[in-house]
Copies of this chain bind each other. A is one copy, B any other.
Amino acid sequence: MKNLHGNAMVGQSGGPTAAINATLSGVIRGVLAAKETIPTLYGLRNGVEGLLNERFVDLTEIFKEEENLLTLEDTPAAALGSCRYKLPKPDADRATFDRILEIFKKYDVRYFFYIGGNDSMDAVAKLTAYLETVDYEMRIIGVPKTIDNDLVGTDHTPGFGSAAKYIATTIKEIVRDCAVYTVSAVTIVEIMGRDAGWLTSASALASLSGDGPDLIYLPERAFSLEQFFTDVKAALAKHPNVVVAVSEGIRFADGTYVGASAQSGAKDTFGHAYLAGTGKFLESAVKSEIGCKVRAVELNLPQRCAAHLASATDIEESVRTGKTAVPAAVSGVSGHMMTAVRTDAPYRVEISSSPVSAIANMVKTVPDAYINVAGNGITEAGIAYLAPLILGERTPVYENGMPKHFVIK
């Protein structure tokens, strides 16, 4: 297949991560290395929203300096902005796709790279399907990112390793914090992950060198309050400071979210229903059943944006994933998502690709082999899978005592 000459576009979509800009940097690096074929790389402001509104920046211009790319790689969240806009089905709303094609033609765009999670891969699949029906040659590539690590067809996703490193380190620090008093106390740490327990499983890594959480609950197992009380009491019998890592998405056997079940219909002073959350629900449950000191901690946004503690392995792979997407597209690959193919002993990752149609709209959950029989901990196989992903530290440039970020104005 001969080289296709034309410009490229890149967009970022879905929730921010600590590594999505590293992947963007990779795409920019890939295009800069292929400038004979791809003269200009347009960055879409707010993903598909920016595409439809022709809001672009010229990334080939902004990132002429290597220094800017390095700073971008240490900057959390989507530097181009993100969106939650979901492309319609091509046969339901052909006009939107015709409009996109018009814009591609107007800017002589032959390459389209979309960095994101499941919804973004769905957009890539739809755009690919549409382009097969028109007479315009283009290459469309999905470049994965999600802290949730829930995309199928790839060993793991860019962004997950950095979130996992933040969670493992923070749990390790919280375990030290909780260890200082002698009175019985339960600390419940609520971790992101609505459908898959990957992020929560990373809390187990804290036990690799020091003390990890006593109990870990993932959405992959039905949650039983009775078993939870039994587990916590057994842990308290061993030592006074029990730390529990729990996924926000755990559900009871009947499928209801544990977090949702705390709602009693009660309203606050503004008339809004109280939304307790999983951690707060379990805090109240422990207070009732056990009566000891108990505290819920929600790790919240820092899980996905703590770039100061990014995994060097994750950032390197994220850059490489973006960078590899460009020659793949130039060589004729289209309608694919970039994937990570792993070998162990020693850990090594090769970047490849797979048809996005077999990837989009599916969820990869934590396999049984990684969860202990009791459903309250991670097995050695799980730890072996997770451990290499958080290795290595970045050395961001600090300015005024804080990491320097690159902001695209």
Interface positions of A (Cβ within 8 A of B): 12, 16, 46, 49, 75-78, 81-84, 165, 168-170, 172-174, 176-177, 179-182, 187, 205-206, 208-211, 261-264, 266-272, 274, 276, 281, 284-285, 287-288, 297-298, 300-302, 304-309, 311, 387, 390-393, 398-405, 407
A176 to B169, CA, bound (A): 22
**A176 and B405 within 8 A (CB):** yes
> Which one of A302, A399, A401 has the greatest number of beta carbons of chain B within 10 Å?
A401
Do the beta carbons of A401 and B390 come within 8 Å of each other?
yes
Contact call B209/A399, Cβ cutoff below 8 A: yes
- Give A390 to B400 CA distance when docked, in angstroms: 8
* Alpha-carbon distance between A403 and B168 when the two chains are bound, in angstroms: 10
Neighbouring B residues of A12 by C-beta, 8 Å? 180
CA distance A284 to B309 in the complex (A): 32
Q: Are B209 and A77 in contact (CB under 8 A)?
A: no
List the B residue with the shortest CB-CB distance to A181.
Answer: B82
A297 near B301 (CB under 8 angstroms)?
A: yes
What is the minimal beta-carbon distance from A287 to any residue of chain B, in angstroms? Answer: 6
Contact B401–A78 (Cβ < 8 Å):
no
Contact A83 B182 (CB under 8 A): yes
Residues in B with CB closer than 8 Å to A168 are: 401-402
Contact B401 A173 (CB under 8 A): no
Q: When A and B form their complex, which 5 residue pairs have the shortest distance between CB atoms, in order from nearest?
A: A266-B266, A390-B401, A177-B305, A82-B180, A77-B176
Question: By the criterion CB–CB under 8 Å, are A206 and B402 in contact?
Answer: yes
Instruction: Tell me the bound Cα distance from A298 to B287 in angstroms.
Output: 21
Cβ of A169: which chain B residues have Cβ within 8 Å of it? 308, 401-403
CB distance from A272 to the nearest CB of B (A): 5
Contact of A398 with B393 in the complex, beta carbons under 8 Å: yes
Closest-CB distance, A164 to chain B (whole angstroms): 9
Do residues A400 and B205 form an inter-chain contact, with CB atoms below 8 A?
Answer: yes
Asked whether B272 lies within 8 Å of A287 as measured between CB atoms, the reply is yes
* Measured CA separation A301–B175 after assembly (Å): 10
- Contact in complex: B174, A301 (CB < 8 Å): yes
* Residues of chain B within 8 A of A272, CB atoms compared: 284, 287-288
Contacts A284-B272, A305-B176, A306-B173 hold; do A84 and B181 have CB atoms under 8 A apart?
A: yes
- Asked whether, in the complex, the Cβ of B177 is within 8 Å of the Cβ of A301, the reply is yes
Docked Cα-Cα span, A83 to B183, in Å, equals 9
Q: List 20 A-B contacts (CB under 8 A).
A: A16-B177, A46-B182, A75-B176, A77-B176, A81-B181, A83-B182, A169-B402, A172-B405, A173-B306, A206-B402, A209-B399, A209-B400, A210-B405, A211-B407, A268-B274, A268-B281, A268-B284, A269-B284, A272-B287, A393-B398
